[in-house]
Amino acid sequence: MSETIIFYLLSGLAIGASALVIGQRNPMYSVMLLIASFGALAALYIQLDAPFVAVAQIIIYAGAIMVLFLFVVMLLNAPQEDAAEWDQLHPLRQRGVARFGAILAALLVVQLAWALFEIAEYEAPVGGQADAAAVSSVRELGRVLFERHAFAFEATSILILVAMVGAVVLARKEGPLS
Protein backbone atom coordinates (compact mmCIF):
# COMPACT_ATOMS: atom_id res chain seq x y z
CA MET A 1 0.00 0.00 0.00
CA SER A 2 2.69 2.44 1.02
CA GLU A 3 4.57 1.48 -2.15
CA THR A 4 1.63 2.59 -4.25
CA ILE A 5 1.41 5.88 -2.39
CA ILE A 6 5.14 6.52 -2.87
CA PHE A 7 4.84 5.58 -6.52
CA TYR A 8 2.07 8.09 -7.14
CA LEU A 9 3.85 10.77 -5.13
CA LEU A 10 7.02 10.35 -7.16
CA SER A 11 5.20 10.18 -10.49
CA GLY A 12 3.25 13.27 -9.56
CA LEU A 13 6.48 15.04 -8.70
CA ALA A 14 8.09 13.97 -12.00
CA ILE A 15 5.10 15.04 -14.10
CA GLY A 16 4.54 18.25 -12.17
CA ALA A 17 8.19 19.27 -12.39
CA SER A 18 8.29 18.49 -16.10
CA ALA A 19 5.17 20.56 -16.72
CA LEU A 20 6.68 23.46 -14.78
CA VAL A 21 9.87 23.22 -16.87
CA ILE A 22 7.85 24.42 -19.85
CA GLY A 23 5.79 26.85 -17.79
CA GLN A 24 8.76 28.70 -16.30
CA ARG A 25 9.91 31.94 -17.87
CA ASN A 26 13.28 31.89 -16.14
CA PRO A 27 15.58 29.37 -17.87
CA MET A 28 17.52 28.86 -14.63
CA TYR A 29 14.36 27.66 -12.88
CA SER A 30 13.57 25.39 -15.80
CA VAL A 31 16.94 23.70 -15.45
CA MET A 32 16.45 23.19 -11.72
CA LEU A 33 12.96 21.77 -12.21
CA LEU A 34 14.26 19.39 -14.86
CA ILE A 35 16.81 18.14 -12.33
CA ALA A 36 14.01 17.63 -9.80
CA SER A 37 12.11 15.65 -12.43
CA PHE A 38 15.17 13.46 -13.10
CA GLY A 39 15.56 12.93 -9.38
CA ALA A 40 11.95 11.75 -9.07
CA LEU A 41 12.50 9.38 -12.01
CA ALA A 42 15.62 7.98 -10.35
CA ALA A 43 13.65 7.38 -7.16
CA LEU A 44 11.04 5.53 -9.23
CA TYR A 45 13.78 3.28 -10.65
CA ILE A 46 14.95 2.51 -7.14
CA GLN A 47 11.40 1.55 -6.24
CA LEU A 48 11.39 -0.80 -9.23
CA ASP A 49 14.49 -2.60 -7.82
CA ALA A 50 16.83 -1.14 -10.42
CA PRO A 51 19.34 0.88 -8.36
CA PHE A 52 21.96 0.82 -11.11
CA VAL A 53 19.61 2.43 -13.62
CA ALA A 54 18.65 5.01 -10.99
CA VAL A 55 22.26 5.89 -10.24
CA ALA A 56 23.13 5.99 -13.93
CA GLN A 57 20.20 8.36 -14.45
CA ILE A 58 21.53 10.70 -11.77
CA ILE A 59 25.17 10.52 -12.88
CA ILE A 60 24.49 11.04 -16.57
CA TYR A 61 21.47 13.34 -16.64
CA ALA A 62 21.43 15.20 -13.35
CA GLY A 63 25.18 15.12 -12.74
CA ALA A 64 26.65 15.71 -16.18
CA ILE A 65 24.18 16.88 -18.81
CA MET A 66 22.28 19.31 -16.61
CA VAL A 67 25.51 20.84 -15.32
CA LEU A 68 26.36 21.63 -18.93
CA PHE A 69 22.86 23.08 -19.43
CA LEU A 70 23.35 25.26 -16.38
CA PHE A 71 26.79 26.23 -17.61
CA VAL A 72 25.40 27.32 -20.98
CA VAL A 73 22.51 29.25 -19.44
CA MET A 74 24.94 31.05 -17.14
CA LEU A 75 27.49 31.77 -19.86
CA LEU A 76 24.89 33.17 -22.22
CA ASN A 77 23.23 34.91 -19.28
CA ALA A 78 19.94 34.12 -20.98
CA PRO A 79 17.34 36.79 -20.25
CA GLN A 80 13.91 36.04 -18.88
CA GLU A 81 11.69 34.80 -21.66
CA ASP A 82 9.38 37.77 -21.35
CA ALA A 83 7.40 39.29 -24.17
CA ALA A 84 10.31 41.23 -25.63
CA GLU A 85 10.00 42.47 -29.18
CA TRP A 86 12.42 39.98 -30.66
CA ASP A 87 10.48 37.29 -28.89
CA GLN A 88 7.18 38.32 -30.47
CA LEU A 89 8.74 38.40 -33.92
CA HIS A 90 10.36 35.02 -33.50
CA PRO A 91 9.54 32.72 -36.46
CA LEU A 92 8.34 30.02 -34.06
CA ARG A 93 5.64 32.42 -32.83
CA GLN A 94 3.80 32.36 -36.15
CA ARG A 95 0.29 30.97 -36.20
CA GLY A 96 0.94 28.11 -38.63
CA VAL A 97 3.93 26.85 -36.67
CA ALA A 98 1.97 26.88 -33.43
CA ARG A 99 -0.86 24.90 -35.01
CA PHE A 100 1.57 22.36 -36.42
CA GLY A 101 3.08 22.00 -32.98
CA ALA A 102 -0.34 21.49 -31.40
CA ILE A 103 -1.13 18.72 -33.90
CA LEU A 104 2.22 17.03 -33.17
CA ALA A 105 1.57 17.22 -29.42
CA ALA A 106 -1.89 15.68 -29.82
CA LEU A 107 -0.37 12.91 -31.97
CA LEU A 108 2.23 12.22 -29.31
CA VAL A 109 -0.41 11.89 -26.59
CA VAL A 110 -2.44 9.48 -28.75
CA GLN A 111 0.68 7.45 -29.51
CA LEU A 112 1.62 7.26 -25.83
CA ALA A 113 -1.87 6.13 -24.84
CA TRP A 114 -1.82 3.48 -27.58
CA ALA A 115 1.61 2.23 -26.48
CA LEU A 116 0.47 1.99 -22.86
CA PHE A 117 -2.57 -0.10 -23.81
CA GLU A 118 -0.42 -2.35 -26.00
CA ILE A 119 2.15 -2.92 -23.26
CA ALA A 120 -0.57 -4.02 -20.82
CA GLU A 121 -1.06 -7.10 -22.99
CA TYR A 122 2.52 -8.30 -22.66
CA GLU A 123 3.23 -10.48 -19.67
CA ALA A 124 7.02 -10.73 -19.87
CA PRO A 125 9.10 -7.63 -19.18
CA VAL A 126 11.13 -6.13 -22.00
CA GLY A 127 14.41 -7.98 -22.50
CA GLY A 128 13.21 -11.61 -22.32
CA GLN A 129 13.31 -13.52 -19.06
CA ALA A 130 14.90 -10.62 -17.19
CA ASP A 131 13.59 -10.61 -13.63
CA ALA A 132 14.14 -8.14 -10.85
CA ALA A 133 17.48 -9.65 -9.85
CA ALA A 134 18.80 -9.46 -13.40
CA VAL A 135 17.75 -5.85 -13.80
CA SER A 136 19.57 -4.83 -10.65
CA SER A 137 22.69 -6.80 -11.57
CA VAL A 138 25.21 -4.64 -13.38
CA ARG A 139 26.87 -7.75 -14.79
CA GLU A 140 23.66 -8.90 -16.49
CA LEU A 141 22.98 -5.42 -17.76
CA GLY A 142 26.45 -5.19 -19.27
CA ARG A 143 26.09 -8.60 -20.87
CA VAL A 144 22.80 -7.66 -22.53
CA LEU A 145 24.23 -4.34 -23.66
CA PHE A 146 27.43 -5.72 -25.14
CA GLU A 147 26.13 -8.99 -26.55
CA ARG A 148 22.59 -8.60 -27.68
CA HIS A 149 22.56 -4.86 -28.33
CA ALA A 150 26.22 -4.53 -29.26
CA PHE A 151 25.51 -3.00 -32.67
CA ALA A 152 23.05 -0.42 -31.38
CA PHE A 153 25.46 0.41 -28.56
CA GLU A 154 28.41 0.97 -30.89
CA ALA A 155 26.28 2.86 -33.40
CA THR A 156 25.10 5.21 -30.64
CA SER A 157 28.64 5.85 -29.49
CA ILE A 158 29.70 6.72 -33.04
CA LEU A 159 26.73 9.07 -33.29
CA ILE A 160 27.81 10.81 -30.10
CA LEU A 161 31.39 11.00 -31.37
CA VAL A 162 30.20 12.63 -34.59
CA ALA A 163 28.19 15.16 -32.58
CA MET A 164 31.22 15.89 -30.43
CA VAL A 165 33.52 16.43 -33.41
CA GLY A 166 30.83 18.63 -34.96
CA ALA A 167 30.62 20.73 -31.83
CA VAL A 168 34.40 21.18 -31.76
CA VAL A 169 34.44 22.19 -35.44
CA LEU A 170 31.64 24.69 -34.88
CA ALA A 171 33.25 26.15 -31.78
CA ARG A 172 36.73 26.45 -33.29
CA LYS A 173 37.67 29.93 -34.37
CA GLU A 174 38.31 30.51 -38.04
CA GLY A 175 41.84 30.97 -39.31
CA PRO A 176 45.12 29.16 -38.67
CA LEU A 177 45.54 27.32 -35.39
CA SER A 178 47.55 29.25 -32.89
Partner 1 sequence: MDLRFAVQLGIIGFIFFMLINASAILVLAERKVMGFMQQRYGPYLVGPWGLLQPLADIVKLLMKEELRPRGADKWLFTLAPILSVTAAFAAFATVPVGAETTFFGLLDEPVKLGAADVNVGVLVVFAITSMGVYGIVLAGWSSNSKYSLMGGLRASAQMISYELAYATSLAAVILLAGSLSIREVVDAQAGFWYQIVPRWYVFLQPIGFIIYVIAGVAETNRAPFDFPEAEQELVAGYNTEYSSVRFALFPQAEYINMATMSAVATDLYLGGWHGIPLLDEYGLSWVTFLLKVGLLLFTYIWVRWTVPRYRYDQLMSFGWKWLFPASVINLLVTAAVVLYFNV
Residues of this chain, 94-153, that bind partner 1 according to CB under 8 A: 136, 138
Which C-beta is closer to partner 1: that of 35 or that of 44?
35
Among 11, 16, 18, 32, binds partner 1 (CB under 8 A): 32
Among 10, 17, 33, 35, binds partner 1 (CB under 8 A): 35
Burial 114-132 (b: 16+ CB within 10 A, else e): eeeeeeeeeeeeeeeeeee
Cβ-in-10-Å burial (0-12, 13-18, 19+) of 91 comes to exposed
Residues of this chain, 43-82, that bind partner 1 according to CB under 8 A: 51-52, 55-56, 58-59, 62-64, 67-68, 70-71, 74-75
Distance, CA of 70 to CA of 78 (rounded, Å)? 11
Which C-beta is closer to partner 1: that of 65 or that of 118?
65
Among 13, 20, 28, 144, binds partner 1 (CB under 8 A): 28
Q: Are 40 and 13 in contact (CB under 8 A)?
A: yes
Nearest to 35 by CA among 10, 6, 67: 67
Which of helix, strand or coil describes residue 149?
Answer: coil
Q: Are 62 and 38 in contact (CB under 8 A)?
A: yes
Which C-beta is closer to partner 1: that of 101 or that of 142?
142
User: Taking the complex as a whole, how short is the minimal distance between the CB of residue 97 and partner 1, in angstroms?
Assistant: 32
Which C-beta is closer to partner 1: that of 63 or that of 127?
63
By CB under 8 A, is residue 155 in contact with partner 1? no
Identity of the amino acid at 166: G
Which C-beta is closer to partner 1: that of 64 or that of 150?
64
Distance, CA of 15 to CA of 159 (rounded, Å)? 30
Residues forming contacts to partner 1 in the complex (CB under 8 A) are 28-29, 32, 35, 51-52, 55-56, 58-59, 62-64, 67-68, 70-71, 74-75, 136, 138
